[in-house]
Structure 1
Amino acid sequence: MALGVAALSVPAALAAAVAPAQAEQSGPSWSADLSAVDGDDVGVAVRDGELTLGSAERAGQGYLLLGERSLDRPVDRISARAEADVPAGAAVEVDVRGKTSDRDWTEWTPAGEALPASVTTVQVRVTLSATGAAPSVERVDLTADAAPRTRAAEVGAAAAPLTYRVFATREGLAGRTTANGHVIGNRDHFVALPSRRGLAPKNTGDYTVRLCRTDNSRCEYAPVWDVGPWNTMDDYWNPSATRQMWKDLPQGKPEAQAAYQDGYNGGKDEFGRRPANPAGIDLGDGTFWDGLKMSDNGWINVSYLWTGTGPTGVVNTSGSPLNLRAAPSTTAAIKGLAANKAKVIVECYVEGEEVTGPYGTSTIWDRIGPDHYVSDTYLLTGSDAPVAPKC
């Protein structure tokens, strides 16, 4: 299951530096406003002027998502120094992402590590977790600077998103709250990945995956709204050099799969449990039953769309998922679904049936995957004109 994960491991007592800052830094510096707890934050509260865990939503873990910050110059790295009381069994993490276009973001990166691109707009997330006494954070100071971008070549080398064959399980848990604060509904459309590096903020599809049955008969585009299964620091889609844990595993192989199939790590996950299956992704019930029409857990192909390049659009249906059509017509065969809020890559466009949607009336249809067409009137692309070339 994706919920009910254990605390992350960090040094106990006073955390002098979550991610060590450089001794000499000349870039922009600021202090995080730890009192700015609002609707996009999960399971945290301010008590006696310090950020700590709340109790209303998700006991044991939560995060503060700070507002976007514009900088006066391009930067490659954000370092953080924190004044925090971190008891044994508790953790405080600071992660950063950078905006690469009007709507697109890099993956969440631990503070102090190089971002995969130079950016002028950044966002910071402070995550707290505990199995016993909760940590408290008094202050987080941030400094932006330029750093060698060792990941740049990897990120820019291919336009297509990374895709791996992964074992998928049904999450269920209707009525529970996900890691980003979403309350799970019946037949809900989202997924969970075992790392916060690809966790989308509440009500966004900033990090979206394309899921397809291995015969490509059905696919769904769904946002990443939860953390799990089995692990919480296993960004297995990333290269070994940048993978958060399990750096000796092949890229694309989840740790739970290696533990289950090969006895890796003594056959145990990050928390010492023996995985009951090799799952590397959890699916919301709607994604599982309606999007992919699965009847049991099984292997699927997963594309991590934020690792690709190209113009993007955000699905807006105000609720139910959007049908994927095999051709630019509302009578064409349905190939699957695109969940509301999912952020998709627009490969190219064609002209087809006239459709009226949230963004007007148009004959433009966008191809967002192999034989996956959606009306442009349901995609927020930031432009009234096509954002991709003609197919």
Structure 2
Amino acid sequence: MRYLLPLVTGAALVAGLASPAQAAPASNEWTADVSGRSASWGGSPRLGLVELGSHRLARPANAVTAVVTGDGVVDVRGLRPDGQWTEWLEAPATLPVTTSTVETRLVLSSGKAKRVQLSARQVPAGPSADDITAAAAGRSYRVYATREGLVGGTTANGHVIRSRDHFVALPSRRGLAARNSGNYSVQVCASNGRCEWAPVWDVGPWNTKDDYWNPSATREMWKDLPQGKPQAQAAYENNYNGGKDQFGREVANPAGIDLADGTFWDGLKLTNNAWVTVTYLWTGSGPVGTVRTAAANGTVNVRSAANSSSTQVGLAANHAQVRVTCQLTGESVSGTQGTSNVWYRIASGKHVAKAYVAGVSGATTC
């Protein structure tokens, strides 16, 4: 459930995807001309997001600064050695890895921007929010989930919310995936044993700068709270910040995640707001794959065994990224990725057919 005054906590940003940047020579100082690019707007106050694309550095670096001519701030992320991206950080930022490839996006709050000047250099490393955990699945916390609803509204990455949609919202754009992308995805599991794998396409509930899954030292706000505890939960349960969120509103529930209607009703079979266990999959390690369905709003059945006659124990949404524990031979299935008898185990007792998962490399045999 959303509380939209005075600031939209779920649809806080509306993403207007820009055209891909033209290939350019590698450099550590570069300029993005954004004067001809348009952004879609929404939220209250209105905000917009323009993707500026990736950039190759001439020399590896871990720190990026940005100067915007006009309105806006810049988010930046770096490519990790495992081929995955770090979280987005607002520039000036020290990335958790030294990298040769960075990606940037412009966040607008009003008016327009003409250009963005960027510079990358190497600085001593500080505390890192990107310390890949020993558990391959990633960091996992029990948080309170609310149903987002808002069908017909626009999410923070520009997705128009559909009936029975499948995505989640987290209260920080550090883990916000681009529209039709799932490189920031979560595994959400209810107490009934059902789970859904879904991309992070919105910002909320309550706060917009509460990356509570990260270590306290690198948390964007509320650094005195323990890792894994959303600020809204602390405000609701412990009167933290006088019981108010970052915008001064009285917190009416302890929510740390919002679930789209399809995730809430069909994936998890919930009927009311509930406590769930969330795994933030980009904080893990090991092989990953991306779910591909024929329908834009489609899902893939997650089964208790490697065959379609076994119990359905959840869903994996189109575009969601999954962590692959291992692979095994099972029933032959035909899907968007061809025909295969290989199935992937993506959690204990949870399997999905390879025929619907793209890009997996290096999975071991179960």
TM-score in terms of structure 1 length: 0.83
State the partner residue of 1:144: 120
Within a 5 Å distance, the mapping from 1:136-175 to structure 2 comes to: 136-151=112-127, 155-158=131-134, 159-175=136-152
Using the alignment, how far apart are the partners of 2:130 and 2:250 within structure 1?
33
1:317 maps to: 293
- Whether 2:171 is the aligned partner of 1:194: answer yes
Partner of 1:100: 80
Specify which of 76, 79, 92 is matched with residue 62 of structure 2: 76
Residue 270 of structure 1: how far off its partner (Å): 0.8
Secondary structure, counterpart of 2:202 in structure 1:
strand
Q: Secondary structure at the match of 1:248?
A: coil
Q: Which residue of 2 aligns with 1:128?
A: 108
Distance 1:154 1:31, change over 3 A: closer
Q: How does 1:190-269 map to 2 (within 5 A)?
A: 190-215=167-192, 217-269=193-245
Q: TM-score, normalised by structure 2?
A: 0.88
Letter in 1 for 2:34: L
What percentage of aligned pairs have identical amino acids? 52
CA distance in 2, matches of 1:125, 1:4: 25
**Cα distance in 2, alignment partners of residues 122 and 5 from structure 1:** 35
Deviations 1:14-41 (A, max 9, x none): xxxxxxxxxxxxx710112213636xx5
RMSD: 2.2
Q: Are residues 5 and 305 of structure 1, via their aligned partners in 2, closer, same or farther at CA, if it must alter by over 3 Å?
A: farther
Deviations 1:226-258 (A, max 9, x none): 111111111111111111111111111111111
Aligned residues: 345
* CA distance in 1: counterparts of 2:238 and 2:63, whole angstroms: 37
2:61 corresponds to which letter in structure 1? V
For 2:23, the equivalent position in structure 1 comes to none
The 1-side partners of 2:178 and 2:324 are apart by 22
Is contact 1:321-1:338 (8 Å) kept? yes
Say which is worse superposed, 206-215 or 193-202, in terms of deviation: 206-215
Which residue of structure 1 lines up, in the alignment, with residue 276 of structure 2? 300
**Aligned AA (1:28):** N
Select which of 304, 323, 329 maps to 2:307. 329
Structure 2 counterpart SS, 1:275: coil
CA distance in 2, matches of 1:6, 1:77: 34
User: What is aligned with 1:177?
Assistant: 154
Shift of 1:346: 1.2
Residue-by-residue CA offset, 1:270-293 (whole Å, 9 max, x unaligned): 111011111011000000000000
Shift of the alpha carbon at 1:100? Answer: 2.6
Q: Following TM superposition, by how much is the alpha carbon of 1:192 offset from its aligned partner in structure 2, in angstroms?
A: 0.6
**1:160/1:64 Cα in 2 relative to 1: closer, same or farther (>3 Å)?**
same
Question: What stretches of structure 1 of length at least 5 have no aligned partner?
Answer: 9-26, 44-54, 86-91
